[in-house]
Amino acid sequence: MRHGVIFIVVFFIFSGAKIVLFPEMAKFFYYFSSLFALRFQIKLYFCTTMMNDEKYMRRCFALAENGIYYAAPNPMVGCVIVKDDTIISEGFHQCCGENHAERNAILRIDDKTALKGSTLYVNLEPCSHYGKTPPCADLISQYPFERVVVCNLDPNPLVSGRGIEKISKAGIKVTTGVLEKEGRLLNRRFFTFMEKRRPFVILKWAQTRDGFMDIDRNDDSQKTYWITNQKLKCEVHKWRTQEAAIMVGTQTVVNDDPQLTARLWHGNNPVRVAIDRNGRIPSTAYILDGSCPTIIYTENSEMKCSEKLQYVVVNFDNLLDEILTDLWNRKIQSIIVEGGLRLLNTFIEQQLWDEARVLIGNKMFGKGLKAPSFPFVPNTVEQIDDDFICLYNAPEL
């Protein structure tokens, strides 16, 4: 019945047909058509507002990503200020200890009267506490914004809703949860660090087309065993500049003597982390050269530390938990685990990983050390020349 009445009303509204109606019926159709038009306008308004909110929040994401190299351990945050559907200012958090995104965006506007009636978009709840910078929520509350639109609430217990509360009390309308899932993915390192109280763990290894990650070390005739091409090597060095630490096991250091630095990409070197239970790493190894901060986890309490080299005694019966807790206490937000096989398998078996990056080189070894068994479907696969990068997210992501 309801759909039939709507059809009749719409038909006569848009067909231009002329009919004679009784006064009561005319009133009914008049009020009904008015209500229908009002509901349509309300739905259109909310749909338009939602689409605009998502559009400008995506711009916040793009700005925030500029902080990937230097914002940590702070989250990556971008901010956009919009008035009359036009961006009038924007900013992002460039470096830990410097201005946050909201402050950068507001300070760029010389005439602050332009903020009246505008909307501020930011992908993480404005902070409400004094840290290295003053609270952004206090700054926002000083100006006549009409709305503040937020993607994610801040899991930091020092904030955790308090920023939203301050802004709301200032009489500013607050909308939250816009593109919330995408926002968590962007700041997955930060959310993992805050919620799980450990670093975000990235597993990384290279393997051949036939599934080997190393040569047969008993075969002295095989000299060259680099698996992937030079472009992927540069990509790996770029990844190192984006994460706080990089980790390998004892056997990897003994076999390969890796430098674990970002020599092929501009940026900070990660903190180098290695396991050496019984002091097997030779003193000539690159990882002990003092060129950048290094942590060695061991059982030997007699190992001598230096300015950039620290030995940390841990209980090897609960190794990974102790290491990750120690790194969390050091405010190391993310770590790449590059091997070897035993270390990678331990992280996989204990489900202590968040992302895996598997590089598949266009080579065949025929025999050697098998790569980890990894029964997951990659989220993305990228081809670079003849090689591939398979990216996996842990199931909860």
- The full set of domain ranges for the chain reads 63-186, 196-393
**Phi/psi at 243 (nearest 5 deg)?**
-115, 160
The two structure tokens encoding residue 10: 């719409």
The superfamily CATH assigns to domain 196-393 is Dihydrofolate Reductase, subunit A (3.40.430.10)
The CATH number assigned to the domain with range 63-186 reads 3.40.140.10
The Cα 150–Cα 187 span in angstroms is 14
The number of helix segments (H) and strand segments (E) in the chain equals: 11, 16
Nearest residue to 214 (alpha-carbon basis) of 181, 174, 255, 242: 255
* H helix intervals, 250-358: 250-256, 319-329, 341-349
Q: According to the model, what pLDDT value does residue 271 have? A: 98
From 90, 102, 125, 243, active-site residue: 102
Q: Which two tokens stand for residue 24?
A: 């009561």
d(CA 328, CA 154): 18
Residue 199: is the preceding peptide bond cis (ω within 30°)?
A: no
Under 8 Å between Cβ of 137 and 166: yes
Rounded to whole angstroms, the Cα distance separating 175 from 121 reads: 9
DSSP state of 291: S
Q: Is 307 a catalytic residue?
A: no
Q: Which residues lie across from 383 on neighbouring strands?
A: 388
Closest CA to 147 of 127, 119, 181: 119
By C-alpha distance, which of 244, 247, 243 is closest to 258? Answer: 247
CA pair distance 166, 109, nearest whole angstrom: 22
Cα(201)–Cα(189) distance, integer angstroms: 8
DSSP state of 371: P
Whether 75 and 190 have beta carbons less than 8 Å apart is answered as yes
pLDDT of residue 192: 97
Does residue 149 contact residue 53 with C-beta atoms inside 8 Å? yes
* Integer-rounded Cα radius of gyration of the chain: 28
Q: Which residues contact 37 (CB under 8 A, 6 or more apart)?
A: none
Alpha carbons 106 and 84: distance in angstroms, whole number: 17
Pair 117, 86: CB distance under 8 Å: no
Look up residue 345 and give its DSSP letter: H
Q: Residue 268 carries which DSSP code?
A: P
- Average pLDDT per 10 consecutive residues for the chain, totaling 397 residues: 44 45 55 55 57 96 96 96 97 96 97 97 94 92 97 92 95 97 97 97 97 83 75 96 97 94 95 96 96 96 92 96 98 96 97 98 94 95 97 85
Write out 21-61 in H/E/C secondary structure.
CCHHHHHHHHHHHHHHHHHHHHHHHHHHHHHHHHHHHHHHH
